[in-house]
Amino acid sequence: MKRVLLFCLSLLLGWSLSGPVQMASVPQQQSKQETFRNPAMEDQDEFHQALNNGRVLMHDGDVDGAVKEFRKAAGLKNGQCAECFNFIAQSYFANGNYKDAAIAYKQTIALKPDNEAELNNALGVSIYLQNDKKTLEEAVAAFNRAIELSGGKLVKVYYNLGYALLKLGRDGEGKAALTKYLEVDPGTNTATEVRALIANPRMVNERFAPGFKVKSFAGGDLSLEKYRGRIVLLDFWATWCGPCRVEMPETKNLWKKFGGDNFVIIGVSLDRNAKALESYLKKEEIGWPQYLDEGGDIARLYGVRGIPHTVLIDQNGIVRWVGYRGGKLESKVEDLVNKLRKQGGPTGQ
């Protein structure tokens, strides 16, 4: 199973949607048509038009169209456009085509841009995600190059390097890289995960849930770390989502049946209207923690493309099930909660 690193550019988790496909699409910030009608774009030269067209197509998920435009822009610069190749790499990466992303990152790096350290890190991630042990040494080399070029200031690379080294079975070096990561970023949201890996390097093959730390809709601190030791259900939803409202009684039943010391639900609302959310929560008497993800940051972190969407996380912070709902979700929650109870309840408080 691919372990998607925490710092994988804009798309961090490439999980596919499973279960019933009755889902509401997450609204986009700006439509393709609105962007193309931007008057400022109409007066641009052919190169900038191609570059901007590529950005719009990439934003709308048309990878083939975006790459075509970026290659056109690169051709207009006689292949001397690091920005063009960087966008090509990002387009392929977002589509899960890590092999072609790596090739494009190499083309970008060859042009010696100012952000060479960041690009080497991105190259290493692209190679790592190909999940081929034969190329992991190349990923390690890219991460080490990123550390060298940044003078060790690109902190996230130590995390990525640690994972790659552990995957190679170089446990001593991997633990050293992860220890260094904790030293330079002791407040990281992934601290518990990293310590678990240092203690047991074989956990490198598990799928850890990306950490986050935000203010809840009610105003208190909200993080996965806060609930480590419990079973956590991330429920991505919105008041405007019909299927979400239909399923709310099932979610309320889960909370009533299992909520407490062993199980918590974290609602991640993709509403844009705080008053609408407040009104709905009050009307439905929803008491579990909520976060208003107006910018879609957590949704992107978890690769959410439609709602309702669920992510079930065990007491160790490992993702166990994605996209389950209804009776199937209840069964999985019950299994995890019962196992936790047999172990003596929460262990991470």
Q: What is the CA radius of gyration of the chain?
A: 22
Q: DSSP letter for 220, please.
A: S
Q: Which two tokens stand for residue 155?
A: 């902190």
Among the listed residues 8, 81, 84, 244, the single catalytic one is 244
Among the listed residues 8, 81, 84, 241, the single catalytic one is 241
Q: Which two tokens stand for residue 331?
A: 């069964």
Task: Give the separation between CA 71 and CA 83, rounded to whole angstroms.
Answer: 11
Active site residue 81: no
Q: Which two tokens stand for residue 319?
A: 């993702």
Q: What is the 3-state secondary structure (H, E, C) of 327-345?
A: HHHHHHHHHHHHHHHHCCC
Sign of the four-CA dihedral 181, 182, 183, 185: positive
Q: Which two tokens stand for residue 51?
A: 């570059």
Q: DSSP letter for 133, please.
A: G
Query: CA 288, 189, 346 angle in degrees (round to 5)?
Result: 50
* Cα separations in angstroms, 164 against 5, 119, 301: 10, 17, 21
Q: Which two tokens stand for residue 227?
A: 């609930």
Residue 163: CB partners within 8 Å, gap ≥ 6? 3, 5, 128, 174, 197, 204
Q: Which of 51, 97, 44 is nearest to 72 (CA)?
A: 51
Pairing of strands 231-237, 290-292: unpaired
Letter for the amino acid at 218?
A
Sign of the four-CA dihedral 148, 173, 223, 205: positive
What are the beta bridge partners of residue 236? 268, 309
* Cα separations in angstroms, 152 against 94, 136, 198: 27, 21, 20
Query: Active-site positions?
Result: 241, 244
